[in-house]
Chains A and B, each alone.
Chain A
């Protein structure tokens, strides 16, 4: 059974720092991995989608990597800003086409 873990559960850093969020999964047989952002009480905004054949995807200050063999993905945020404060969730699409979710990392960027 696929399990997705995100560590840390919460992270607080000063504005301007580069940071890395981690996502690990137990079964490497995945179709893709998606990173989402969620603001308090709101829906989910897709940030990056990495197909199983890809190693990384970039969008602006965000870069997501995927290492299927080790069951890991990282989301790198460059030059963090207070507006980046949110909860970041990763989700893996498994071999049954189901989306398996991590519990998220709550990120706070201090001005």
Chain B
């Protein structure tokens, strides 16, 4: 099966600019996750979707971050305006369902550098 697709792979922007990331999960996976991973740390969950509904966005900085999954398939994560501390790898993952005992599959990530 095809894996989780993410684009772009790399992005460099200036602070206060906006940026968007795209993710296409594995076909049939109802649950989609966006993680932020700062260098040297484990991933931090930003938002979790079940189909096209938000299950958990408690750690999403809603004043600057937004995400949507309109048709319950692919998803976009946006940052506006970006800050220096947003420099990180943004990872998208999917799983069959929220309560599935199957594991997560991750995409290759988008490496964001804010200068």
B43 at the interface (CB under 8 A from A): yes
Q: Which of B40, B91, B99 contacts A44 (CB 8 A)?
A: B91
Task: Count contacts on A: residues with CB < 8 A to the other chain.
Answer: 23
Query: Which chain B residue lies CB-closest to A102?
Result: B42
> Shortest CB–CB separation between residue B4 and chain A, in angstroms?
8
Chain A residues with CB under 8 A of B33 = 99
User: Would you call A51 and B101 a contact (CB within 8 A)?
Assistant: yes
Can you show 12 pairs from A to B with CB atoms below 8 A apart? A41-B111, A42-B89, A43-B109, A44-B43, A44-B91, A44-B106, A46-B104, A46-B105, A49-B102, A97-B98, A99-B33, A99-B45
Chain B residues with CB under 8 A of A97 = 98-99
Chain A residues with CB under 8 A of B111 = 41
What's the A-B contact tally at a CB cutoff of 8 Å? Answer: 52
The residues of A with any CB-CB pair to B shorter than 8 Å are: 4, 31-32, 34, 36, 41-46, 49, 51, 89, 91, 93, 97-99, 101-104
A76 to B6, CA, bound (A): 31
Interface footprint category on B: 20 to 34
Interface string of B34-64 (1 = CB under 8 A from A): 0000001111010000000000100000000
A98 to B101, CA, bound (A): 11
User: Would you call B89 and A101 a contact (CB within 8 A)?
Assistant: no
Chain B residues with CB under 8 A of A41 = 89, 109, 111
